[in-house]
Structure 1
Amino acid sequence: MKVLIIEDEQLAAEKLLGYLKRQQPEVEVVAQLGSVAQVLQFFQTPQPLDLIFSDVELSDGQVFSALEQLDLPCPVLFTTAYDQYWMQVFQHQAVDYLLKPFSYHRFAEAMLNFAQFKQKMQQQIAPSGAATASSLTSGQGYKKRFLLRKGQSLAILPVSNILLIRAVNGVLLATDLQHQVHMLTENNLGDIETQLDPTEFFRLNRSDLIHISSIVKVEPYNKESVAVQLSCEATPLLSSKTRTAAFRKWLNQ
């Protein structure tokens, strides 16, 4: 198990590491980072990680300012002395929120939540992968529709009607051609991305998967990002810096 620790207080980092070794003796701590700048530098190259432990308040600002620019490879278990961030953390792939000082018992509960989350994701991915392979060999291609819950009944949303799929507070919301928003029964944007035609849909950032027909205009935002105005959104969406080059290439294919 490979983990990253983002913590600027050495005593807190040592306590966390002690808990980790106690529960997972074979754990490998890939790095310990203490600032937003270090986090951004660390993720300049792809990192094989299973779990990230992160404080919120770092030596040069809040970790959210880094995470919102990144496409994280794994879930995050947040550890902080402040209770006001519990809503924000779940916008950044959080599996739990440990309020300092926390006991080993509470730490073990959080690790159990992570293990259950990981098992659930594996169960979802396996059938999905099998279905994708089957559909490709039978000539059916990519996913064509989503099931929606409408009260006690189900409805169908064709993929061809979707302009935007957005991850918000742990749920996925799809905006259709009429700019109506629907809650999907799926909850993993990464899984959905692999099921949709990559010539039609692009993962612009951590939380937004856009359809080519939704784009009104694209403008430079800074050196590493662009602002994308969609027909269904009043506010432009920003590309994450790790996806901007691929996005430009996708537009030009």
Structure 2
Amino acid sequence: MQPVDVFRGDGPVVLGVPHAGTFVPDDIKARFNDTGLKLADTDWHVDRLYSDLLPGATMVKANFHRYVIDANRDPEGVSLYPGQNTTTLCPTTDFDGRPIYQSGMEPQTGEIEARRLAWHAPYHAALQAEMERVRAKHGVAILYDCHSIRSVVPFLFEGTLPDFNTGTNNGTTCASAIEAAVVACTQAAEGYTSILNGRFKGGWTTRHYGRPAEGFHAIQMELAQKTHLATEDTPFAYDEAKADRLRTHLKDILSALENLAPSLFQNNTQGANND
């Protein structure tokens, strides 16, 4: 199994999909307990949800499961949310805080580094290459990082998560016009709830690639899985009717981002000329 698939488009938007993969190497899977084998913390069907919404978009999809290594974590292991419950670069618990390995079978430092080189690094090499290719073509590249999570996860957050959770690390990872456009779309989505920079402010990917002054913009969307799954438990089935309704709004978001690209490039160029 190759670590990453790239579906290349000719537009300014790059879709990052770090957590929809379900592949686990046999030697790792053999050490999981029943909780780990369930793979409950997958971003179920997110690649399908965004597929073909924006014809020119590029998609970079990790094929490995986040329990192998989390492609949206700092490779140095630094916590994204200090003081809050979260999972690590190579998770040893699920989102409910329960162990995913048989006792004594957790990965140690050497194995974590080997996994980083085999899985995490190739995903980000591919994503970096696509961001640079897109910026070279359009003057800007807009990374839209695609995520989903169960609506209720007490270990990670209180209450029920809003449907749309937009993250820009408090406005630092993209131009304000991008943030405003996405928020306008989510707030206009009738029957859905939304929040900006709530529990999920953007993971390592968004924070790492979001350098607006250089023409690299990044924004994360964390969707509550009730918006597109029949049930947020086994078998985590895709609900066509729910998903089709949601896809209408996701298409609006991606189209808005694509339409912003020329003005973002112009603004960057003017800013450079004024320096």
TM class by smaller structure: 0.3 to 0.5
TM-score, normalization by structure 2: 0.31
Give the TM-score of the pair, scaled to structure 1: 0.33
- Structure 1 or 2: more helix by fraction: 2
Higher relative contact order (CA 8 A, sep 6+): 2
Per residue, is there more strand in 1 or in 2?
1
